[in-house]
Amino acid sequence: RKEVEQDPGPFNVPEGATVAFNCTYSNSASQSFFWYRQDCRKEPKLLMSVYSSGNEDGRFTAQLNRASQYISLLIRDSKLSDSATYLCVVNSPYDKVIFGPGTSLSVIP
Amino acid sequence: DAGITQSPRHKVTETGTPVTLRCHQTENHRYMYWYRQDPGHGLRLIHYSYGVKDTDKGEVSDGYSVSRSKTEDFLLTLESATSSQTSVYFCAISPRSETYEQYFGPGTRLTVT
């Protein structure tokens, strides 16, 4: 089993739709979780950290389920500018993090 | 912006030649990382540094070496470039204030012919 797995995608959704991405991780000792977005041919950029109680930033909501070892990202009212690849990131031992393979999102007019 | 630059941004080199990529930060952060990103593999850690002269291997370190003689610079060297090292290389820094957030440079596209 891979350390971090994500929905394979791609997701193609119309503008205004709500879309959810899921991510599972294998190391039950992981304590820090993040979502990054990566635009085509650009560097990954931190979208949001994921906290135990769940957190929201505008149209984006992240949730963590430690018992099931999964993280989710919900995007409401999708915009064209949300089109990107979304990377799930989980910390691993010795000051490192593990990146998931990413899920591609295309928002269609 | 996180104050990270990478140079060169693009490079084409021949098999067997040594190549050095540079990552420079203006944030004075302790932790720096080198990743490569390839289709089908996502981001994979090559080497990382937790201080001046303190480095360690990542999951794909074979064929690469690193050096960090100053806080602000982290160099990645391909000792003898091979076609399998054609990739996009990203440098990242981490403030490590009890988190694992990382901030990335713009990347270097390396082609080994």
Separation CA B100–CA A99 (nearest Å) = 12
Separation CA A44–CA A100 (nearest Å) = 12
Torsion angle in degrees (nearest 10) through CA of B27, B28, B29, B31: 120
Q: Can you tell me the mean pLDDT for B29-46?
A: 92
Average pLDDT along chain A, 109 residues, taken 10 residues at a time: 87 97 93 94 94 91 95 98 96 84 96
Separation CA A100–CA B16 (nearest Å) = 32
Q: Nearest C-alpha of chain A: how many angstroms from B109?
A: 10
Q: Can you tell me the mean pLDDT for B8-31?
A: 96
* Residues in contact with A67: Cβ distance below 8 Å, sequence separation at least 6, in sequence order: none
- Give the pLDDT of residue A92: 82
- Give the pLDDT of residue A34: 95
String of DSSP letters for B43-85: EEEEEEEEETTEEEE-TT-TTEEEEEEETTEEEEEESS--GGG
Separation CA B89–CA B6 (nearest Å) = 9
Name every chain A residue with its beta carbon within 8 A of the beta carbon of B58. Answer: 96
pLDDT per position as a tens digit, A21-50: 999 999 998 989 999 999 999 999 999 999
Separation CA B32–CA B68 (nearest Å) = 9
Query: Which pair of structure tokens corresponds to residue B63?
Result: 């064929």
Nearest to A95 among B31, B90, B103 (CB): B31
Separation CA A74–CA A29 (nearest Å) = 24
- Give the pLDDT of residue B99: 65
pLDDT per position as a tens digit, B68-108: 999 999 999 999 999 999 999 999 999 875 568 899 999 99
Query: Which pair of structure tokens corresponds to residue A26?
Result: 């294998």
Contact B101 A101 (CB under 8 A): no
Contact B42 A32 (CB under 8 A): no
